[in-house]
Amino acid sequence: MNHYPSSIRKVINNLNKLPGIGLKTAERLAMHLLSAPESEVLELSRNIGELKKTIRLCSQCFALTDSDLCRICSNPSRDNALICVVENQADMVAVEKSGAFTGVYHILQGLLSPMDNVGPDDIRIKELLTKIEKGNVREVVIATGTNVEGEATASYISDCLNRFTVNITRIASGVPMGGELKYVDQVTLKKAMEARHAL
């Protein structure tokens, strides 16, 4: 690292802190930035600098947004009576990309995880209940992950919602599309077998 002038070293250090960017990659990126057009580099710098300033959470669904309501909550053609509960923004984006959902979202901003001291009050479950209490919600699709925390959170939320007259559903588990059975783990295959349906 001492082999670089200090301004390059600083950028390498900063980049090296990002997830998945090792020292070698950070060096390569810094070298690229040095040879890239100045306007491009300044644009990157400016946009990173402004990122945190403009971003906040949607007051309704807690998605990241740069206005009070996110693009989905403020879209009148989305079905407000259908709520999809996800762990975070990235999961929301994944569901959106699938194009299979026309309702609105509720982003928990985390999952229940007693090991990490994350309880029901640490994620946005209360806000979900408040939304349901107001009525007008027909169905809640719980789309948390299928890992331990995701399943536990799904089951906790399901218990909480039982006292309301709302349909509670969970996204299906099974063999991923395009997957070969021999590469699928046993638990998934068991789930897929149990949830088999008529053709």
Residue 36 or 187: which CB sits closer to a copy of itself?
A: 36
Residue 5 or 178: which CB sits closer to a copy of itself?
A: 5
For the bound state, the minimum distance from the C-beta of residue 129 to a copy of itself, rounded and expressed in Å, comes to: 25
Residue 13 or 167: which CB sits closer to a copy of itself?
A: 13
Residue 95 or 192: which CB sits closer to a copy of itself?
A: 95
Euclidean distance between CA atoms 195 and 152, whole angstroms: 20
Residue 71 or 138: which CB sits closer to a copy of itself?
A: 71
DSSP state of 175: P
For the bound state, the minimum distance from the C-beta of residue 1 to a copy of itself, rounded and expressed in Å, comes to: 9
Residues 6 or more apart in contact with residue 75 via CB below 8 angstroms: none
Q: Which stretch binds a copy of itself (CB under 8 A): 14-22, 139-147, 150-158, 168-176?
A: 14-22
For the bound state, the minimum distance from the C-beta of residue 2 to a copy of itself, rounded and expressed in Å, comes to: 8
> In this chain, which of 22, 59, 68, 71 binds a copy of itself, going by CB under 8 A?
71
Find where tokens 């992950």 sit. 145
Q: Are 111 and 125 in contact (CB under 8 A)?
A: no
> In this chain, which of 93, 187, 193, 195 binds a copy of itself, going by CB under 8 A?
93
Euclidean distance between CA atoms 11 and 38, whole angstroms: 15
Helices (H), the chain: 6-16, 23-35, 38-54, 89-98, 125-133, 148-161, 186-194
> In this chain, which of 5, 76, 114, 178 binds a copy of itself, going by CB under 8 A?
5
The helix or strand, by DSSP H or E, that contains position 169, with its residue range, turns out to be strand 167-170
Euclidean distance between CA atoms 154 and 141, whole angstroms: 10
- Footprint of a copy of itself on 21-60 (CB under 8 A): 21, 25, 27-34, 36, 38, 40-52, 54-55
Residue 20 or 178: which CB sits closer to a copy of itself?
A: 20
Q: Which backbone phi and psi does 103 adopt, to 5 degrees? A: -90, -155
What are the residues facing 104 on neighbouring strands? Answer: 83
Q: Are 137 and 131 in contact (CB under 8 A)?
A: yes
What is the contact surface with a copy of itself in residues (CB under 8 A)?
Answer: 2-8, 10-11, 14-15, 17-21, 25, 27-34, 36, 38, 40-52, 54-55, 64-67, 70-71, 89-90, 92-93, 96-97
